[in-house]
């Protein structure tokens, strides 16, 4: 089969399509003939050598795919060869075939084509699982950084659908307008003093839950932006790994800081999250309560261009690699 391989850690030029051995489904697994793969920022980190897969997982990049069931492993029920499927992977998505634990697979939302479906599961699983982790309650206030990106755009709509007041940051006037169109109540230019803007927008209270992909760069400002008993969830390190945490600020607010990576979660937890998404989020898409993401498609052979696009700073919405 063909797959995207990384010749050595570095820039997009290190991505090459090569012939690699076919994969086969083992017990409890599905073999998926890949139609498309979502392109995520975690993929960029892996290409750069900063986010290796868990032990025993394919070193081929790719955390989500859509396709059709090619073969069924021993002990798997409820699936037939040829079924449409979307899957959450720990690795191996940029390829013609992918092996996935059956619990991490579900059918796409009704009425959504398979290529578009490739870009839905990872962002939904990330947002839903993290809000569950910190006990988000309908109606609480919420801040997500990068509201025009894949995770941000979904999070704005999902929390809005749950009655929350949504604040977000973005880097251009066009992206700020996109965030407002998605349902953000407050959209802030992150080039300005966004933490002060959060305080102003919340009357000095701060937000109940903050979803952050920046890491170290925003750590102090994120904590300052929390309300009493607020919860900060760190899911990325675009702004670095090591920051300063003011414990007295946490104590005074009775606040929580947590960091998560769905990729390294146990199989049982991933299966639980995929089930939650299929049960809760897919009906929201089907009913039109959440819009399908703005989507930029790249041919398999243009995988380098997909990474360049995501790194450009001008990207908004979701990138999908059509295999």
CATH number of the CATH domain containing 240: 3.40.50.720
> Is 80 exceeded by the pLDDT of residue 151?
yes
Residue position matching structure tokens 């880097």: 171
DSSP string, 119-186: TTHHHHHHHHHHHHHTT--TT--EEES-TTBHHHHHHHHHHHHTT--EEEEESSHHHHHHHHHHT-SE
Clarify whether residues 149 and 33 are in a common domain: no
> Is 80 exceeded by the pLDDT of residue 313?
no
Clarify whether residues 45 and 80 are in a common domain: yes
Average pLDDT value over all residues in the chain: 96
Taking only the tens place, the pLDDT of each residue in 33-51 is 999 999 999 999 999 999 9
Q: Which long-range contacts (CB under 8 A, 24 or more apart) does 181-186 make?
A: 182/147, 182/153, 182/156, 182/157, 182/291, 183/156, 183/157, 184/147, 184/156, 184/160
What integer pLDDT is reported at residue 73 of this predicted model?
98
Clarify whether residues 148 and 245 are in a common domain: yes
Distance from C-alpha of 25 to C-alpha of 211, rounded to nearest angstrom:
35
> Is 80 exceeded by the pLDDT of residue 175?
yes
> Is 90 exceeded by the pLDDT of residue 314?
no
CA 42 from chain center: how many Å? 9
Band the pLDDT of 213: cuts 50, 70, 90. Answer: very high
Clarify whether residues 143 and 180 are in a common domain: yes
Phi, psi of 97, rounded to the nearest 5 degrees? -130, 145
Assign residue 55 the CATH number of its domain. 3.90.180.10
Domain range for residue 227? Answer: 124-260
For residues 290 and 283, the answer to whether their CB atoms sit within 8 Å is no
Clarify whether residues 220 and 310 are in a common domain: no
Domain end (from 260, 277, 304): 260
Taking only the tens place, the pLDDT of each residue in 81-115 is 999 999 999 999 999 999 999 999 999 999 999 99
Report the alpha-carbon angle 151-127-169, nearest 5.
Answer: 45
Domain end (from 221, 239, 260): 260
DSSP string, 276-311: HIIIIIHHHHHHTSSPPPPEEEEEGGGHHHHHHHHH
> Is 80 exceeded by the pLDDT of residue 315?
no
Clarify whether residues 53 and 161 are in a common domain: no
What integer pLDDT is reported at residue 113 of this predicted model?
96
Clarify whether residues 217 and 289 are in a common domain: no
Lowest-pLDDT range, 92-96, 183-187, 214-218, 269-273?
A: 214-218
- Give how many domains the chain has, as a whole number: 2
Percent of the chain with pLDDT over 90: 93
Burial label, 12 (beta-carbon count in 10 A; 0-12, 13-18, 19+): middle
Burial label, 204 (beta-carbon count in 10 A; 0-12, 13-18, 19+): exposed
Clarify whether residues 164 and 222 are in a common domain: yes
For residues 112 and 135, the answer to whether their CB atoms sit within 8 Å is no
Clarify whether residues 189 and 307 are in a common domain: no
Pairing of strands 142-144, 207-212: parallel
Distance from C-alpha of 2 to C-alpha of 264, rounded to nearest angstrom:
26
Cα separation values, 53 from 90, 231, 265, Å: 7, 28, 12
Taking only the tens place, the pLDDT of each residue in 57-73 is 999 999 999 999 999 99
Percent of the chain with pLDDT over 70: 100
Q: Calculate mean pLDDT across residues 263-276.
A: 96
> Is 90 exceeded by the pLDDT of residue 197?
yes
Clarify whether residues 175 and 61 are in a common domain: no
Burial label, 212 (beta-carbon count in 10 A; 0-12, 13-18, 19+): buried
The partner residues of 2 in beta bridges, in order of sequence, read 19
> Is 90 exceeded by the pLDDT of residue 317?
no
Taking only the tens place, the pLDDT of each residue in 273-290 is 999 999 999 999 999 999
Domain end (from 245, 260, 275): 260
Clarify whether residues 131 and 72 are in a common domain: no
Clarify whether residues 98 and 149 are in a common domain: no
Per DSSP, the three-state class of 38 is strand
């Amino acid at each position: 089969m063909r797959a995207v391989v990384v010749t050595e850690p570095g820039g997009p030029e290190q991505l090459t399509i090569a012939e690699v051995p076919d994969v086969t489904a083992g017990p409890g697994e599905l073999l998926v003939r890949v139609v498309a793969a979502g392109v995520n920022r975690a993929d960029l980190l892996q290409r750069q050598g900063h986010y290796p897969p868990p032990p025993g997982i394919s070193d081929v990049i790719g955390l989500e795919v859509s396709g059709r069931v090619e073969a069924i492993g021993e002990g798997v029920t409820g699936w037939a060869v040829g079924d449409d499927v979307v899957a959450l992977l720990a690795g191996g998505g940029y390829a013609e075939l992918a092996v996935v634990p059956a619990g991490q697979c579900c059918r796409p939302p009704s009425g959504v084509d398979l290529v578009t479906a490739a870009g839905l599961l990872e962002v939904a699983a990330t947002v839903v699982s993290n809000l569950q982790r910190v006990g988000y309650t309908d109606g609480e206030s919420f801040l997500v950084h990068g509201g025009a990106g894949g995770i941000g755009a979904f999070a704005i709509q999902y929390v809005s659908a749950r009655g929350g007041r949504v604040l977000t940051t973005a880097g251009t006037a066009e992206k700020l307008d996109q965030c407002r169109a998605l349902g953000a109540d407050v959209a802030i230019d992150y080039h300005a003093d966004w933490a002060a803007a959060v305080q102003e927008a919340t009357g000095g209270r701060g937000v109940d839950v903050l979803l952050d992909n920046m890491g170290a760069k925003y750590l102090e400002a994120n904590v300052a932006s929390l309300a009493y008993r607020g919860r900060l969830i760190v899911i990325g390190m675009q702004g670095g790994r090591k920051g300063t945490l003011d414990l007295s600020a946490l104590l005074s607010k009775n606040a929580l800081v947590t960091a998560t990576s769905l990729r390294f979660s146990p199989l049982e937890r991933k299966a639980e999250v995929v089930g939650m998404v299929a049960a809760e989020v897919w009906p929201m898409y089907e009913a039109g309560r959440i819009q399908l993401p703005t989507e930029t498609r790249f041919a398999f052979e243009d995988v380098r261009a997909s990474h360049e696009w995501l790194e450009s700073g001008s990207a908004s919405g979701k990138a999908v690699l059509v295999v």
